[in-house]
Structure 1
Amino acid sequence: MIPLFQASHRDHRWWEAWARWMRADLAHPSDFLRRLALGWAGGTIALGVIGLVCYKLGLDAVAAESIFLIAIVLISLVGSFTMSIGLCIVAVLYIDFFFIKPTLTFDIQYKQDIPALLTFSIASLAITGLVRHVRMLGETQIEQARLLDLTHDTVIVRDMDGVILFWNFGAEEMYGWRKREAIGKIIHTLLKTRFPVSLDDATDTLLRTGRWEGELIHTRCDGTELVIASRWSLQRNGNGRALATLETGNDVTARKQAEQALRRSQATYLAEAQRLSRTGSFGWNVWSGEVVWSEQTFRIFEFDPHVVPTLELVLQRVHPEDVERFRNTIGDASTHKQDFDFEFRLVLPDGAIKYLHVVAHVMKDEPERLHYAGAVMDVTEARQAEQQLHHAQSELARVTRVTTLGELSASIAHEVGQPLAAIVTSGEACLRWLERQPPEPDEVRAGVMRMVGEGRRATEIVRRIRTLARKDTGQKVPLGLNDVVNDVISLTQREVLSHQVPLRVRLAPLLPPVLGDRVQLQQVLINLVMNGIQAMDGVTGWARELSIETGLTPDGNVRLTVRDCGTGIDPHHAERLFDAFFSTKPHGMGMGLSICRSIIDSHGGKIKVFNNEAHGATFQCVLPPLAKEAA
């Protein structure tokens, strides 16, 4: 291959003419035969003239054979292989005719002349075959050179010192240097090559594997820089010694520019999307401690983008109450190599509080390469909205409780009126005992003690009513569910009596305590009791009864059940029964059962309703005991 690349087209023009002639021969066989006959006749005449001239000059057979051999070689260079073989035979005949005794005849006087003629024949045929082989090689090389010039890719051959041996038309078009200007120059000096790796590393790879490929920066003759996808192939001789490097390449400058533009566009869209969603991204190399932030992450933490982000920098703004949890989460992530997801608060320099939600995923888990990729979301507005929603729900629950208290006004008046009447009665009795002669201080003392007891009872009733009516966010404490039931019974007893509904209470002893808000749980039970009472209004066809029960479920949870004997739940309304503002009552707000479900859900429990087998419906609340909450 190398001699081909060193040759110029001018050196092979006559080979190209011969190649065109041979292609024409294959396309037109009759023309080929005509030329073959003419060539054979011309060659025969030429050889005859050569033989006659040599005979006239008195040359011997050896000298004549040498001249004939030269003539055959020349004829083989321009003629066909068939014609060359025929002329070899003609040359043997002319040598026999002119130079083998007896001369001017085809007879052979001495037998020792026969080997000489055979030797000439073999030599001429061998030379003709070699010439044919050289012509075929020349045709192949010409065709290869032509094909290499047809490609738009660059094809360059350089020796092991980097000197250019071959420079195709594609290289001329791409780099601007003509072939005569490039051949003989050192390629990397001519093109001012910039490598993605060092030239020594690329050469080592080429010698070790026989190939190398990568993207190079080449400079055209006008100074324009091009990005070239280059591929090198090592050429060796038969002994395995490296001879040269075949280098091909194509211009990917436009593609790289488009990719860079796309990346810039994507980065712009990503930055804008992160800004709108208030979500930043980060990378963390656990082993080196290196932290990388996106532009939005700097905005979230309110640090200057030129600051180098570190975990210590983040800790400067973590809320003091969240510092220990932050350290523990980061420490567990680096130790156990697992994803993490948590929330913490920031305290900004102006005192403002931010709520952040951080999620991260392990990208690489190799020695010295534990990497995390994650996202930081500013959820401050969401948390503030949750707080406002909770406040609104608490206010709505309080309004509902006040409304319920209005419905229980008769019961409340009765509950408060009983101790007050007892106090008045005891006071009047004390006055009578004091007016007696002599006074009876023991009776007065007993009467005063009864007055104190009734006063405390009235105070407790008022306290419960004020607790239900006050504006309070609530506080969960350990409490007994049976105590909540007893509080509600005392508040609703008058309502039960006025509707003439028998009340049956079954409280399981030794129930485990639950972690709950007493007022909220009282509100749930009051709503369920009032609904049960109202559901039995107008029922006359069967016995009415309201049942309140407590107990344990098979899985150890605490159960509160309110069962009535009313008309039951319409199946069409069952799925919407706990929806806000849905009510089956003519003047109902539709908030009672919705609030009940919200309260039970916030306590980690479940509330459900189902119709009884005979009459009425059952509401069942299930709450986790304090032991499960702690676990």
Structure 2
Amino acid sequence: MATLRSSGKKGTWRYLIVLWISGCLLLAAIAAVGVWARMHFATVSFCMLIAIVLISLLDSFISSALFSTAGALLLNYFFTPPEYSFEISEASDIFPLAAFLVSSVAVTSLVRRGRESERRLREQARLLDLSHDAIFVRDNRDVITYWNHAAEALYGWRQSEALGKDASELLNTVFPISREELQLILLSDGHWEGELRHTNRRGDQVIVSSRWTLQRDENGEPVGTLESNNDITERLRAEDRLRRIQAQYLDEVQKLSRTGSFGWEVKTGEVFWSAQAFEIFEYDLNEAPTLAMVRNRLHPDDVAVFEQMLKDANAGQIANFDVELRLSFPGDRSKQLHIVGRVGPNGSPDSRQFIGAVMDVTTARQADERLRRAMTELSRANRASALGELGASIAHEVGQPLSAISTNAEACRMWLMRDPPYFDEVREGVEQIIAAGSRAGAIVQRIRRLIKGMPSEHTAIDINDVIEEVVGIVRRDIERQRGKFRLILAPGLPLVVGDRVQLQQVIINLVLNGIQAMSTTTANKEITVVSQRDAGGNVVVSVRDSGPGIAAENLPRLFDPFFTTRSSGMGMGLAICTSILKVHGGRLVAENNDDGQGATFRFVLPPMNDSKAA
């Protein structure tokens, strides 16, 4: 296999044949010269040994063995008696021939092994030169014995300049620990890793991530150290720049949020503040922060709270705290602080460390106080507004029956002045006055119950009956406008649950709104009241007028309190209707009629069973 590998490396078998023939001829020539010059056996054997060693360098062990055998045969043939014969007459001649054969094989093997070792070392050195890491080898005296190309590029010294130099002196090495401690670790573990600081040829400092590997001989004794260094200078500078940028951003964020950070070593009493913490307590950055500096700034009423917090922290009774304290400054200035903290990650029973944040919440607390005062003022305004709405509601609700009483009383006086008096009309007018008075009294009772917070009286009601009662109350108003009522009441409607007076007020308001809307028209004036049942079983009441309708821009605000389009209106009627229907579980909607004549107000009430369920 060795011959084949060799022949493959040199070319072909032809090379081997030429080598073997040439080698044998050279040995024969040496023998011929020895015979001609009558040289001794030892001299000729020495010359042959040298030739065999030189020729064997050109090929493998097989060639060495071949040449050694050929040389032994030539020595036997020409220089041992009987000469010119391969016979050995004396046994003593066997020893020198065997010695020559063994010596030549051994010497050529050793030479070849040395060459192979040298080749492997050159190959390893070539591989080390291809590495991007700076690699060099130091002996036990710290003298450099190997220096690769990456080391030349990193440090600036060429290999010829670095070899033989003391590594620590050449690179001005700064160790993270003493050199003696580092050497003990290397001898104990066989390797070491860490960061070193070197100085290159230009005088610039280079920071490297270094890996040391101890080299030992066959007996295990240290013979040197392989050191591999990776330049991390730029990476560390980038990390340092990033840390500075992060610190700068953190400082700006703390300024914007008025939040400082702190640390407190309970055992030693040491305190650490961020720049913003110094700003909050208004101390100079050059001063070393202490707990006494905090006490000096505290409001006298908050000192006890602070001292108790310190006492609990020293006793290990709290793992975190959340407290608000006040600071006092000259000129009657003060600050409100919100301080939070917790035991740090390195906290232990023997060494407790608190970390936390101190926030200047003065502006926030002042804003809270302003908001509280504003809420108080708003509440007072709301109460006044509520009283105004209540007064407007009372005036609107009671105004209708009082107006009816006044109108009917005036009519009765006119009928009594007739000759003869119209007693039947007077009787009807008095009855309407009594009904209006009763309705006004009921309204007052309802408002009194509302003010006292008492629930209204809800009973089962036939909505058609309520509609007919309302028509009787407001008939004179529509007749005064020379208009007419039209009722379309569906029979057999389910009963609804509610306050009879309140539902009367809803229908009266809707009918009177329709009558007032028609006062500006000269066409046929008609109020149509329809009751029916929808697909869901609810009771629906619609009040349709033939007035001008509702302007599109007014539809969204139609049910807002105090919104009105009439100069004499109060804007409470529809708002009251909406409130009443909401209490009864109903809803009110308004829309213009499809034919462009007037508008329709429609409310929906759930039937009695649904009302009870609700």
Is 1:392 matched with 2:374? yes
In the alignment, the residues of structure 1 paired with residue 4 and residue 457 of structure 2 have an alpha-carbon distance, to the nearest angstrom, of 112
CA spacing shift, 1:29–1:299, aligned 2, 3 Å: closer
Aligned to 1:252: 232
In the alignment, the residues of structure 2 paired with residue 63 and residue 301 of structure 1 have an alpha-carbon distance, to the nearest angstrom, of 102
1:497-545 CA-to-partner distances (Å, cap 9, x unmatched) read: 9324897xxxxxxxxxxxxxxxxxxxxxx98828x56999x99865769
1:243-299 CA-to-partner distances (Å, cap 9, x unmatched) read: 222111021111111111111111111111111121222222222222221111111
The aligned runs of 1:405-444 (5 Å cut-off) are none
Task: Please report the TM-score for the alignment, with normalisation by the length of structure 1.
Answer: 0.61
In the alignment, the residues of structure 1 paired with residue 452 and residue 192 of structure 2 have an alpha-carbon distance, to the nearest angstrom, of 81
- Counterpart of 1:394, as a letter, is T
Instruction: List runs of 5+ in structure 1 lacking aligned partners.
Output: 1-21, 411-494, 504-525, 546-581, 591-611, 619-631
Is 1:75 matched with 2:55? yes
CA spacing shift, 1:289–1:239, aligned 2, 3 Å: farther
* Correspondence for 2:291 among 284, 306, 311: 311
In the alignment, the residues of structure 1 paired with residue 609 and residue 351 of structure 2 have an alpha-carbon distance, to the nearest angstrom, of 66
Aligned to 2:477: none
- Counterpart of 1:289, as a letter, is G
CA spacing shift, 1:148–1:97, aligned 2, 3 Å: same
Aligned to 1:336: 317
In the alignment, the residues of structure 2 paired with residue 66 and residue 72 of structure 1 have an alpha-carbon distance, to the nearest angstrom, of 10
Q: Secondary structure at the match of 1:358?
A: strand
Q: Secondary structure at the match of 2:164?
A: coil
1:57-98 CA-to-partner distances (Å, cap 9, x unmatched) read: 333434433332233223333443332221111111111111
Task: Please report the TM-score for the alignment, with normalisation by the length of structure 2.
Answer: 0.63
For the Cα contact (< 8 Å) 1:73–1:128, is it kept in 2?
yes
Is 1:276 matched with 2:200? no
* Correspondence for 1:372 among 331, 336, 354: 354
CA spacing shift, 1:613–1:359, aligned 2, 3 Å: farther
Is 1:162 matched with 2:142? yes
* Correspondence for 1:529 among 439, 445, 453: 453
Is 1:106 matched with 2:106? no
In the alignment, the residues of structure 2 paired with residue 122 and residue 377 of structure 1 have an alpha-carbon distance, to the nearest angstrom, of 93
Q: Secondary structure at the match of 1:196?
A: coil
Q: CA deviation at 1:402?
A: 3.7
For the Cα contact (< 8 Å) 2:458–2:499, is it kept in 1?
no
The aligned runs of 1:264-303 (5 Å cut-off) are 264-303=244-283
Q: CA deviation at 1:139?
A: 0.9
Identity of aligned residues (%): 41
Aligned to 1:499: 445
In the alignment, the residues of structure 2 paired with residue 314 and residue 32 of structure 1 have an alpha-carbon distance, to the nearest angstrom, of 94
For the Cα contact (< 8 Å) 1:25–1:32, is it kept in 2?
no
CA spacing shift, 1:616–1:282, aligned 2, 3 Å: farther
Q: CA deviation at 1:615?
A: 5.5
Aligned to 2:423: none
- Counterpart of 2:232, as a letter, is V
Is 1:345 matched with 2:269? no
Q: Secondary structure at the match of 1:75?
A: helix
1:168-204 CA-to-partner distances (Å, cap 9, x unmatched) read: 2222221112222222222121111222333233223
CA spacing shift, 1:323–1:353, aligned 2, 3 Å: same
Q: CA deviation at 1:396?
A: 1.7
- Counterpart of 1:396, as a letter, is L
The aligned runs of 1:462-541 (5 Å cut-off) are 498-500=444-446, 529=453
* Correspondence for 1:356 among 316, 332, 337: 337
* Correspondence for 1:34 among 8, 14, 18: 14
Q: Secondary structure at the match of 2:160?
A: helix
In the alignment, the residues of structure 1 paired with residue 51 and residue 321 of structure 2 have an alpha-carbon distance, to the nearest angstrom, of 92
Aligned to 1:45: 25
Q: CA deviation at 1:395?
A: 1.5
In the alignment, the residues of structure 1 paired with residue 353 and residue 181 of structure 2 have an alpha-carbon distance, to the nearest angstrom, of 29
In the alignment, the residues of structure 1 paired with residue 3 and residue 239 of structure 2 have an alpha-carbon distance, to the nearest angstrom, of 47
In the alignment, the residues of structure 2 paired with residue 293 and residue 35 of structure 1 have an alpha-carbon distance, to the nearest angstrom, of 84
For the Cα contact (< 8 Å) 1:343–1:355, is it kept in 2?
yes
The aligned runs of 1:534-613 (5 Å cut-off) are 542=497, 586=561
- Counterpart of 2:453, as a letter, is V
* Correspondence for 1:59 among 26, 39, 43: 39
In the alignment, the residues of structure 1 paired with residue 154 and residue 374 of structure 2 have an alpha-carbon distance, to the nearest angstrom, of 73
1:475-512 CA-to-partner distances (Å, cap 9, x unmatched) read: xxxxxxxxxxxxxxxxxxxx999324897xxxxxxxxx
- Counterpart of 2:178, as a letter, is S
In the alignment, the residues of structure 1 paired with residue 363 and residue 305 of structure 2 have an alpha-carbon distance, to the nearest angstrom, of 22
CA spacing shift, 1:278–1:251, aligned 2, 3 Å: same
1:317-360 CA-to-partner distances (Å, cap 9, x unmatched) read: 12222221122223323413512222212112332221212222
Q: Secondary structure at the match of 2:211?
A: strand
CA spacing shift, 1:203–1:616, aligned 2, 3 Å: farther
Alignment: residue pair count: 438
Q: Secondary structure at the match of 2:188?
A: helix
Is 1:214 matched with 2:194? yes
Q: CA deviation at 1:143?
A: 0.7
Aligned to 1:382: 364
For the Cα contact (< 8 Å) 1:501–1:544, is it kept in 2?
no
Q: Secondary structure at the match of 2:359?
A: strand
Q: CA deviation at 1:616?
A: 8.7
CA spacing shift, 1:202–1:396, aligned 2, 3 Å: same
In the alignment, the residues of structure 1 paired with residue 451 and residue 218 of structure 2 have an alpha-carbon distance, to the nearest angstrom, of 100
Question: Greater CA deviation, 345-354 or 245-254?
Answer: 345-354
For the Cα contact (< 8 Å) 2:299–2:327, is it kept in 1?
yes
In the alignment, the residues of structure 2 paired with residue 586 and residue 499 of structure 1 have an alpha-carbon distance, to the nearest angstrom, of 22
Aligned to 1:261: 241
CA spacing shift, 1:45–1:341, aligned 2, 3 Å: same
In the alignment, the residues of structure 1 paired with residue 89 and residue 44 of structure 2 have an alpha-carbon distance, to the nearest angstrom, of 18
Q: CA deviation at 1:53?
A: 2.0
In the alignment, the residues of structure 1 paired with residue 247 and residue 609 of structure 2 have an alpha-carbon distance, to the nearest angstrom, of 65
Q: Secondary structure at the match of 2:47?
A: helix
Q: CA deviation at 1:152?
A: 2.8
For the Cα contact (< 8 Å) 1:195–1:216, is it kept in 2?
yes
In the alignment, the residues of structure 1 paired with residue 140 and residue 43 of structure 2 have an alpha-carbon distance, to the nearest angstrom, of 47
CA spacing shift, 1:287–1:88, aligned 2, 3 Å: same
For the Cα contact (< 8 Å) 1:286–1:371, is it kept in 2?
yes
For the Cα contact (< 8 Å) 2:458–2:497, is it kept in 1?
no
For the Cα contact (< 8 Å) 2:134–2:151, is it kept in 1?
yes
In the alignment, the residues of structure 1 paired with residue 254 and residue 457 of structure 2 have an alpha-carbon distance, to the nearest angstrom, of 54
1:361-394 CA-to-partner distances (Å, cap 9, x unmatched) read: 3221236542222222211111111111111111
